[in-house]
Structure 1
Amino acid sequence: MGRTEYYDDPGAPEPNRLVVAASAVVTDEEGRILLQRRRDNGLWALPGGGMDMSESLPGAAVREVREETGLDVEITGLVGTYTDPRHVIAYSDGEVRRQFNVCFTARVVGGGLAVSDESTELRFVAPTELGSLPMHHTQRLRLRHFLERRAAPYLG
Structure 2
Amino acid sequence: MNKQKPINMYPAVAVIIFDKQKRILLQKRADVGLWTIPAGHVMPGETVEEAAVREVYEDTGLIVDPHRLIGVYSDPESQTFEYPDGRLVQFVTSYFEAEITGGTTEKKNKALIEIDYFAPNRLPHDLLPMHPRWLVDAFSDRRAAFVR
In the superposition, the TM-score normalised over structure 2's length comes to 0.89
Paired amino acid for 2:56: V
Q: Quote the residue 1:147 is aligned against.
A: 139
CA RMSD of aligned residues (A): 1.7
Q: CA deviation at 1:93?
A: 5.7
Give the distance between the partners of 1:46 and 1:140, measured in 2 at CA. Answer: 10
Gaps of 5+ in 1: 1-6
Name the SS for the 2:105 alignment partner: coil
Could you list the per-position Cα deviations for residues 67-113 of structure 1 after superposition, in whole angstroms to 9, with x for gaps in the alignment? 11110000110111110112422345664311000100000000001
* Structure 1 segment 77-92 matched on structure 2, within 5 A: 77-86=68-77, 87-91=79-83
Name the SS for the 1:137 alignment partner: coil
Residue 28 of structure 2 contacts residue 36 of structure 2 at CA under 8 Å; is this kept in 1? yes
**How many percent of aligned residue pairs carry the same amino acid?**
32
Residue 32 of structure 2 contacts residue 83 of structure 2 at CA under 8 Å; is this kept in 1? no
Count residues in correspondence: 146
Q: Quote the residue 1:120 is aligned against.
A: 113
105-114 or 37-46: which moved more? Answer: 37-46
117-126 or 57-66: which moved more? Answer: 117-126
Name the SS for the 2:130 alignment partner: helix
1:104 aligns with 2:96: yes
In the superposition, the TM-score normalised over structure 1's length comes to 0.85
Gaps of 5+ in 2: none
Residue 64 of structure 2 contacts residue 99 of structure 2 at CA under 8 Å; is this kept in 1? yes
Give the distance between the partners of 1:112 and 1:55, measured in 2 at CA. Answer: 24
Paired amino acid for 2:102: G
Q: Quote the residue 2:43 is aligned against.
A: 52
